[in-house]
Structure 1
Amino acid sequence: MANLKAYNIALKGLGTGEHRFDYQVERKFFEYFDGGIAEDGDISVVLKLEKQSSLIVLWFHVEGTVKIQCDRCLDLFDQPIESENTVYVKYGEEKYEEGDDVVWIAPDESHINVAKLIYDFIILSIPIKHVHPDDENGNSLCNPEMLKKLAQMSVKVEKEKPADSRWDELKKLLDNK
């Protein structure tokens, strides 16, 4: 995280009250995190920080697009994302497990780096299903050549035959438990 210094927030000189930080996340940011879903994007992050005497509250607003691979046709596409997240930073010598939205730092810590938090919020805002969105007519924007190959390779499933009516009386016995 040596080159993610732009995401360091100095805590020592920061006065009590609200502060705002704006970040623009692009391809270079994603290079510092291995093996993620997204490797490129154009995302704006607005961080509002409220420093109190014993607590810091961070509000993140993440909005933009990430370039991800379509699960259906394997082409890259721009997936719009947006999320609102809150993180509480507490001071303490020991780190306690209080949930995903609490971060513990030492009382003598001079700064906090929010790059990993921003990355996590970007990745968590990506939908589980990665498929090209449909156009205004409802047609898929997936690669047509790949869809054609998928149709050729798909397994044809035979429709179920209607149940044999000779067994209906016995099935009634099973339903009378």
Structure 2
Amino acid sequence: MAGISAYNIAFKGLALGTHEFDFQINKKFFDHFDGGIADDGDIQAKVVLEKQSSLMVLWFHVSGTVKIQCDRCLELYDQPVESENKVFIKYGEDDFEDGDDVIWVNVNDHQVNVAQMIYDFIILAIPIRQVHPKGKDGKSLCNPEMLQKLKNLTHTQEKPEEETDSRWDDLKKLLGNE
């Protein structure tokens, strides 16, 4: 993971106050993470570090596009993503578990790597349902051939009418279900 070292933020020599770091995220970045939803993208990540005497606060602003596969037609498309997150970094001798937004670093550490955090924030910004957006004319930008194949292979099954037990009919009337 030698390429990930570009995402190290050295905080040991920084003065108290805020400091900004900009990172360009592309395919080379995504190659360091296996089996994700996204394998390529063009994203700008801005990290603002506020160094205080007892802790540090990292603000992440991630925006751009990732190439993901459409759930409907299986073609790749550019999905816009945008995310703002905050992470606290505390100093300590032992590892503690404070939650998802707190990281503990040893007092002897001099840098923190933000690559995994940036990757996680990008993945969390991707919607659950991944479908091509609609065009200016309001129609889907999905592959029309695949949509036609799906339409041809879709089987609509009519529901057979269920026989009901006549003993329950009066109860259904009381509940307003009939």
TM-score, length of structure 1 as denominator length? 0.92
1:94 positional shift: 1.4
Count of aligned positions: 175
SS in 2 for 1:4: helix
1:176 positional shift: 5.0
Q: 1:165 to 1:22 in 2, by over 3 A?
A: closer
1:165 positional shift: 10
2-structure distance, mates of 1:6, 1:67:
22
1:55 positional shift: 0.3
1:91 positional shift: 0.7
Give the aligned partner of residue 172 of structure 1.
Answer: 170
**1:104-141: per-residue Cα shift (whole Å, max 9, x none)?**
11000011000000000000000000000011222110
2-structure distance, mates of 1:135, 1:159:
35
Give RMSD over aligned pairs: 2.0
Residue type matched to 1:149 in 2? K
Give the aligned partner of residue 98 of structure 2.
Answer: 98
Give the aligned partner of residue 54 of structure 1.
Answer: 54
Q: How does 1:1-177 map to 2 (within 5 A)?
A: 1-158=1-158, 161=161, 167=166, 170-174=168-172
Consecutive unaligned residues of structure 2, counting only runs of 5 or more, are none
1:98 positional shift: 1.2
**1:20-43: per-residue Cα shift (whole Å, max 9, x none)?**
001110010000000000000000
Residue type matched to 1:85 in 2? N
1-structure distance, mates of 2:174, 2:74:
51
Q: 1:53 to 1:175 in 2, by over 3 A?
A: farther
1:173 positional shift: 2.5
Residue type matched to 2:145 in 1? E
Consecutive unaligned residues of structure 1, counting only runs of 5 or more, are none
1-structure distance, mates of 2:126, 2:60:
16
Q: Which moved more, 1:87-96 or 1:122-131?
A: 87-96
Q: Percent identity?
A: 58
TM-score, length of structure 2 as denominator length? 0.91
Residue type matched to 1:29 in 2? F
SS in 2 for 1:3: helix
SS in 1 for 2:18: strand
